[in-house]
């Protein structure tokens, strides 16, 4: 029982490591560094030629919803005018970035760093 749990744990760590590694590579291709800010990722999504955009007006507010899939990377972005409301980045079905303007104290200019899963125990 203990061995199968350890095997499962190792598989989970390898999958997470692949997800974060893929995200780092993708962000490096976007920004030239291994980290990116919420603003940089949002700009990448909004300006990408393959992005799907839905615009809606709710109670006089203009909202835009962006979805982009590139390989195993999935991006979801919500904006109101130029304000970033929500940004999600998923890789290999794992959440890499989850930004919410209403709860996160993170500045949109702060670089997002990814954990080094190879050293996780």
Q: What is the pLDDT of residue 16?
A: 52
Locate the domains of the chain by residue range.
2-114
Full-model pTM: 0.67
Q: Which is more confidently placed, 47 or 119?
A: 47
Average pLDDT, the chain: 76
pLDDT, tens only, 67-121: 999 888 899 999 998 899 999 988 877 888 889 988 877 677 777 765 443 433 3
Q: Which is more confidently placed, 2 or 82?
A: 82
Give residues with Cβ within 8 angstroms of 5, minimum separation 6. none
């Amino acid at each position: 029982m203990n061995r199968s749990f350890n095997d499962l744990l190792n598989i989970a760590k390898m999958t997470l490591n692949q997800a974060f590694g893929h995200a780092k590579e993708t962000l490096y291709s976007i920004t030239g560094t291994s980290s990116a800010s919420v603003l940089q990722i949002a700009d990448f999504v909004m300006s990408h030629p393959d992005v799907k955009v839905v615009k809606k007006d709710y109670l006089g507010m203009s909202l835009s919803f962006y979805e982009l899939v590139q390989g195993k990377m999935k991006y979801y972005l919500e904006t109101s005018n130029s304000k970033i409301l929500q940004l999600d980045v998923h890789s290999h079905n794992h959440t890499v970035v989850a930004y919410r303007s209403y709860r996160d104290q993170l500045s949109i200019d702060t670089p997002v760093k990814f954990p080094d899963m190879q050293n996780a125990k």
